[in-house]
Every structure is written in C-alpha cells, then in structure tokens.
Structure 1
C-alpha cells in the first residue's frame, strides 16, 4: 500500500481518500490483489476512525474479510485496540463478520469471550447465532475458551443462549455444542475439572452435558479430578460430579464397535424398523400431506358411522316417557316393553349383519389412525398429535360399546385397540433404537462439518 493511502487511513481523512482515488481509480483494487496485507480498513480499524472505516467497507467490502500479515482482520484489530463502538458498526454492516477467522482460527466471538466482554457476546450471538458453533484450530468452541480462561459470566451467557434458542435444530445444537471435544478429546467439563473451576462444573451439571464421556486418553471427568487431588477444589468438584452420576472410565461398559454391529445378523425388529424407515423416506412431503388428508377423511367417516349406524338405533317411546314424567306413574310392564327398554340405544340391524358392519368399520377406523401416526413427523409434535388421537379412539370405543347388541363384539371392541396400542408402542421403540444407531453410524462426520465456520475467501 502506498504511503499517501496509508496516511489518509491513519488520519481518517475521507476527502484525501477520494483525491487519491481521482488520481488513481484502481488504487483500492491494487491493495485487494495482495493476499495478506494491511488494507486501509485495517489501519482505520486500529486507529479507531469509524467513519473512514465505514466508507472503506462500502467501497470495498472484501477488505473486511482480509487478514494482515499477522493473521488479523479489521474486526480483530478493532477489538484488540478496544474500539468497541466500531466493532458494533462492523456487525451492523455485515453480521457475518462475527465468523471471520483470524490467526489460529479465532473468531471475534472467541476474542470477546476470552476478554469476558459479555455485552459484545450477546450482540454477536444476536446478530449471528451460528457463530457459537465456530471452532479454532485446536477445535475449541467459545465455551472451551470461556472455561479455559475462567470467564464465568461469559460461560453463563453462552450457556443461557444455548438453552433459550428456539430454532428448528436448537435441541440438537445445544447437545452438540455442550459435548463438543477439542483436539485432545476434552469437553468443556473435562477442561473445567482440569482448571479447578467449581463454578463452571456446578453450572454444567444442570445442562445436557455428558458427564461420562471419555477423552482421547480414555479418562472421564471423575478420572481427571482424582488424578489432580492436590488441587484445592478437587474434593468439592468430585463430590458434585459423583452426586450428579459421574463414573470412572473403567467402570463404563464398552460400547460395541460399529463394525461388529454391522457384521451381526439383522434381527426381526431391525427389519421392521428398516422397512418403515425406508418407506417414510421414500414418501415426499406432498405425498405425505395427501395421504394425511385421506386418512383423516377415513377416520372421521368411520367415526360418524359409529355415531349413526345404518338403520339407526332403538328409540324410547316419547309419548310414554312424557306421560311418566307428567303423572309420575310407571307404565305397566310387559314382555314387549321390557325387550324394547333393554334394546334402547342398540342398533336395529341383526347381530350377524352388525358383526360385518363392526368388522369393516372398526378395521378402517384403526388403520386410518395408524396411518396418521406413521405419517406424522417424528419428535415432540408427534407426541402432541398422538395424545388427542388416543382420546379420539377412546370415544370410538365407547360409541361402539353403546350400540353393540353382541357381547362378543363388545369384548372385541375393547381388546382390539389395546392390541393396536401395544403394537404401535413396540414399533415406535424399535424405530427409536434404529434411529439412534443410524445417528451413531452416520452423523458423526456431519456434526464435525457443522463446525467449519468461517472465512468467505
């Protein structure tokens, strides 16, 4: 960079900058061609000239992502020189600058976490929530840095952010970030124990962190704290994690390797779950929505048939009922009247005909309910929808019990939904176990790739 441009950047003189551009229109382009250089934006950020830096960012946005020969971006230099108002202006112009990686992979979020600047941590996370997943070259997240430098308030802010986010993948993100391992296989709990940081350990116990995960040396948090018993807080930390359920590494049952499981024979339960999983994944969203509509129509139609069966049900004699209410005298009983009174609310059709009606209608109803359960998305929303469906099925059972003239049909009406409920619970448990295995097989590399973060260039 030529001396006049450097002088203009150090003074923050916008008028002088444009005079130089008038004399040499490609002045900024020449600087942009150099891979590692102190651009005018770097110099202005270090000097704290916010207006000049904003003008340079408007003219050459790529300067904000460049690193100087020391591996620092303009955002890093502004933080280094404590020009925090300028840092906020950078984030306002381009929120993704929170994820620019400087020397050793440190992002601005890592830098402010190391310094304990909780107000900037909040602003960075609000502007760019994904920055909490960025890692350094040592594979450390911002939480690792907060624990390593014992910035307890910064750790509280980061954990509070993780626990309060409500986007689609928030639960998975929270668990993934909390249990992320650095290059030595240490989670933030391992580091808290190594640092003798009881406040952090107490805070982490109440989260979704895995207390018994092993690092690359095969040590759990309990193993580490017992290896460092000379530390003044070791006894307190040990009592906390033991009470929370921490175990020694040697006492944990070794999980079967994936290769051994894949080489084993497929069980019947796994075949059922695999078929169901493949079927669900072959169905497109449009097809699933159409099938849900059809299943709901079948369920409502069959339920309506239970409320209004063909031929109707036996009704009471309205004139006799009115006379009884008016006079208080019970009508004379006879065999025909007793039979009618006994059949009140029962279907008019013959028992054999009712049996066929009950069979077809009940099978259609419960198949529709099962189809709705299978087509619904998995997760909490499935539980929310399944509960009303169970109550809806109970209403169908009571309706059939009222109109059924046969004891056999009455028993079958109660037994069939119980069998279907057991079948559905069994299928769901098998599906969940298979889904966990699939995540263990395939999601490890996917989770690693989510923590790439980073530079655009």
Structure 2
C-alpha cells in the first residue's frame, strides 16, 4: 500500500485522501492489485468512521476483502467494537456479518469472543441467520461466547434465538458439545441458570441430556471435572431440569420420561432459586463448600474478633480516669471490681482464641514465622495495656491469666472438643438403644 495512503488511513484524514485521489485517481485500484490489506482494514482498526465511509463510496468491494491474516474490515471493526463502522459496512451489504475468515470464523464469532454486545445486536438485526453460522470447529457464536465467559453476549444471543424460534442452543461443535456441555465444563452457573431456570429457552426445548462424542452429558462433565468452588448448586439446577448421567440414560431417555422430567423441573426451579430454610441453605456443607473457602471465611472472622477484643480491652466500658491518682486506670475496675474482672477474663479468652485461630489458619503460609512474631507481640502489648489500666488490687489476677492464656488455649480447646464428641456419641448410642 502506498505510504501516503496508509498514513491517511491510520489518522483518518479524509482531506488527505481526497488530495491523493485528485493527484492519482487510480491509487485505490493499485492497492487492490498490489496489497493484501486495503485502507478500509486500517480505518476499521482505528475506528475512523468518516474515512471508512469515503473508502466505501469509492471502493465498496474493499468491504469483502480479507487481509493476510484472513480478516475482513468487518472482522476488525467487530472485534474492536467500532459500532458505527459496523453499521456503515452493513449498509453496503447486510451479509457481511456472515463473511468467513480464518478458520471460517465470521465477524459475529469475533464479536461473541470479545463480548461486543452492541455489535452483536446490530448484526442480528441486519442478518438474523448469521447466528447459525459455524466455524471450522463447528462452533456457533453461542459456543464461543460461552467458552470465553462472555455472559452478556450469551444473554443477547439466547434471547434472540428464543424470539426467532430457532434451535441453535442445541447445535453441537466438532466434539459433539452443546453450549450446555461447555457451560457445565467451565462451571458457568449464570449461563446454566439462563438456559434452564429463567424461562429464556422455554420455546427452544433445550436438550439437557444431549450426549457428546465422548459419550458424556452436561451432568457428566460437571461431575468429572470437580472444582474447588463446589458444584452442588449447579448440579441441583441440572437435575431439576431433568439432567441425568449418560450411564443412567439408557433407561430414562424416552419421550414419556422427558415429559415427566420437564414437569418436575418446572415445579422445583422456584424452590431452588428461593430456598425455604435459609439456615440449611447457607450453613457449611461438606462436598459443596471447599476447605479453602471455609478457611478464608474463618480467617476474616478471626481477624474481626481479634480487632474487636483488642480495642475493647484497651478502652473498657466507662473509660478511664483522666486526672488524679487514678489517672489512666479503668473506672469500671473501681466501681465494680468483680464485673471488671469477668469482663477482662472473657475478653482476653476471645482475643487469645482468635489469635490462635489465625495461627492455625495461616500455617504454611509464606512468611509464617514473621506473622507469628506479629501476633505474639500484639498479645504482649495487649497484656501490658490491660494490666496498666487495671486497679492495683486486680493487677495480679489479670497479669496471671493474661500470661497463662496463650499456653492454655490449645489443650483447653482440644479437651472441650473431645468432651463434646464423647457426649454426642453417648447420646447417639442411647437413642439407638
């Protein structure tokens, strides 16, 4: 391509283009003969709408040309979200969104991969049939949007397919996977809920138990590739929609069974989305909630408890005397010594246990030794502070249990846990008898 024409396309300078055309009327024809990339490619990448309009006026055939990478101007404008250029190209030819590039991917495929929702909407309005186009790997735009976790793009495409009464949601790629297979494999709960729970595909008869070339259903893929995040909720949604494993499918995949599955799904979806027993729904469950999530939650709670108990230990209810011989000592300690003693005892227990939990939960962390030093020094400063604000007659007691508590936390906790376990077992045995 002529260097001057390339510069004009890169900057979107329409006046410079007119000047070049005046000096050399055949400059655009020369580009078509000598270069794999034309000025419309460059303008589409840069989003220069006016320049693109002018090129299309002179050489509309540039819109269908592929460059050395197998991409048309429409591919580039779609991937880069230049909606105005997409509109201008569609005015020239509404079928440009179906133009096959590298690996038979269309501009709609590229928009789906990048999640360009507004571009997708323009293409579907201009050419609704483009939603059925497949790549060399048998992937529709829906396959690619799910694979690249572009939920908003999936939502727009699914809604459009539902309005068109097309069965694109059940198209299979070269490995026999539907979009439900891919969503289950990638643990995309939002997509699965959209397809099975929100009524978006009621007119599409989603094939929940479609089998891919490996002989697996969407439920099989979910079970074969477990994730640390837990898959219980996704499994419940799939089963509520009538999903089964391929192993069990030989006896269940009859028209009557499918009808019963759909009826059961419609009855149970609302209960899945709005659980009646909120305590049972949110409490920790083995197999559903991962140890890492439980550890993170416990660590946050431990830090909050340590912060609260540290602060209240230094600033007890009632405050401290601000003048006189008792300056800096707790008012509660003089007005109600027993209450103050119990207050400091239980507050120190909470503080010690929270630090102990932090130590356990951060075991084998990087810089764990440094973290232990930090928690140890924090307990020392806490002990000094509570002893300092204590009345003289209580200092000895508070000094003793703040010094003993760190060494007592682990054996006491283990003993209490063992006692609870024995009581629970004895109660179970007595119930069975």
TM-score of the two chains, using structure 2 as the length reference = 0.52
Q: 1:29 to 1:149 in 2, by over 3 A?
A: same
Instruction: Name the structure 1 match of 2:246.
Output: 249
Pairwise mapping of residues 281-300 of structure 1 onto structure 2 (< 5 A)?
none
Change (3 A) 1:119 1:45: closer
1:75 and 2:66 equivalent? Answer: no
User: What is the CA-CA distance between 1:144 and the residue it aligns to?
Assistant: 0.9
Deviation per CA, 1:387-418: give whole Å up to 9, x if none. xxxxxxxxxxxxxxxxxxxxxxxxxxxxxxxx
Aligned twin of 1:202: 193
Map Cα deviations across residues 200-258 of structure 1 (whole Å, 9 max, x no partner).
Answer: 11222253211111111011112112212344242212121122211221333399xxx
* TM-score normalised by the chain length of structure 1: 0.50
Deviation (angstroms), 1:71: 2.4
CA 215–48 in structure 1, closer or farther in 2 if over 3 Å, else same = same
Is this contact kept in 2: 1:96–1:128, CA < 8 A?
Answer: yes
Question: CA offsets, 1:365-398, max 9 Å, x none?
Answer: xxxxxxxxxxxxxxxxxxxxxxxxxxxxxxxxxx
Secondary structure class of the residue paired with 2:62: helix
Pair 86,240 (structure 1): closer, same or farther in 2 beyond 3 Å: same
Equivalence for 1:227: 224
Q: Distance in 2 between matches of 1:76 and 1:10?
A: 17
Distance, in Å, in 1 between the alignment partners of 2:63 and 2:92 is: 10
On the 8 A contact 1:143/1:188 being kept in 2, the answer is: yes
Structure 1 residues 240 and 48: alpha-carbon distance in aligned structure 2, compared to 1, 3 A threshold: closer
CA distance in 2, matches of 1:72, 1:217: 33
In the other structure, the counterpart of 1:8 is 8
Structure 2 residue 119 is the aligned partner of structure 1 residue 128: no
Query: 1:117: Cα distance to partner?
Result: 2.6
Q: Is the 8 A contact 1:198 1:233 kept in 2?
A: no
Give deviations 1:242-279, integer Å, cap 9, x for gaps.
22211221333399xxxxxxxxxxxxxxxxxxxxxxxx
Instruction: Verify: 1:32 aligned to 2:32, yes or no.
Output: yes
From 205, 210, 213, the equivalent of 2:210 is 213
Q: Is the 8 A contact 2:81 2:116 kept in 1?
A: no
Q: Which position in structure 2 is the counterpart of 1:44?
A: 43
SS in 2 for 1:33: helix
Listed as ranges, the matches of 1:432-447 within 5 Å are none
Shift of 1:154: 1.7
Q: Is the 8 A contact 2:8 2:17 kept in 1?
A: yes
- Whether the aligned pair in 1 keeps the contact of 2:170 and 2:178 (CA below 8 Å) is yes
How far the C-alpha of 1:80 sits from its partner, in A, is 4.3
**Alignment-derived partner of residue 64 in structure 1:** 63
Compare relative contact order (CA 8 Å, sep 6+) and give the higher one, 1 or 2. 1
Q: Using a 3 Å threshold, how does the CA distance of structure 1 residues 247 and 48 change in structure 2: closer, same or farther?
A: closer
Q: Secondary structure at the match of 1:253?
A: helix
Per-residue Cα deviation, 1:269-319 (whole angstroms, up to 9, x for no partner): xxxxxxxxxxxxxxxxxxxxxxxxxxxxxxxxxxxxxxxxxxxxxxxxxxx
Contact 1:113/1:151 (<8 A) preserved: yes
Contact 1:196–1:231 (CA under 8 A) maintained in structure 2: no
Q: Residues 224 and 11 (structure 1 numbering): CA distance in 2 closer, same or farther, change over 3 Å?
A: closer
Could you tell me whether the CA contact under 8 Å between 2:184 and 2:192 is conserved in 1?
yes
Partner of 1:157: 156
Residue 82 of structure 1: CA displacement?
Answer: 4.1
Corresponding residue for residue 55 of structure 1: 54
**1:184 is the counterpart of 2:181:** no
Please state whether the residue corresponding to 1:38 is helix, strand or coil.
coil
C-alpha distance after superposition, 1:172-191 (max 9, x if no partner) = xx22x111111111100100
Q: Specify the SS of the correspondent of 1:30.
A: helix
Question: What per-residue deviation string (whole Å, max 9, x for no partner) do you get for residues 124-157 of structure 1?
Answer: 2111101111122221111112211222222121
Separation in structure 2 between the aligned mates of residue 253 and residue 29 of structure 1, nearest angstrom: 63
Q: Distance in 2 between matches of 1:229 and 1:254?
A: 26
Q: Counterpart of 2:249 in 1: which secondary structure?
A: coil
C-alpha RMSD of matched pairs (Å): 2.4
Change (3 A) 1:136 1:233: farther
In structure 2, C-alpha distance between the alignment counterparts of 1:186 and 1:199, rounded to whole Å: 18
8 Å CA contact retained: 2:60, 2:92? no
Q: How does 1:54-453 map to 2 (within 5 A)?
A: 54-165=53-164, 171=165, 174-175=166-167, 177-205=168-196, 206=199, 207=201, 208-253=205-250
Partner of 1:313: none
What SS does the corresponding residue of 2:245 show, helix, strand or coil? coil
Distance (Å, rounded) in 1 between the aligned partners of 2:69 and 2:181? 32
The change in CA–CA distance for 1:220 and 1:76 in structure 2 (over 3 A counts) is same
Contact 1:75 1:90 in 2 (8 A): yes
Equivalents in 1 of 2:190, 2:230: separation in Å?
10
Alpha-carbon distance between aligned partners in 1 of 2:119 and 2:76, rounded to the nearest angstrom: 15
Residue pair 1:196, 1:233 contacting (<8 A) in 2 also = no
Whether the aligned pair in 2 keeps the contact of 1:72 and 1:103 (CA below 8 Å) is yes
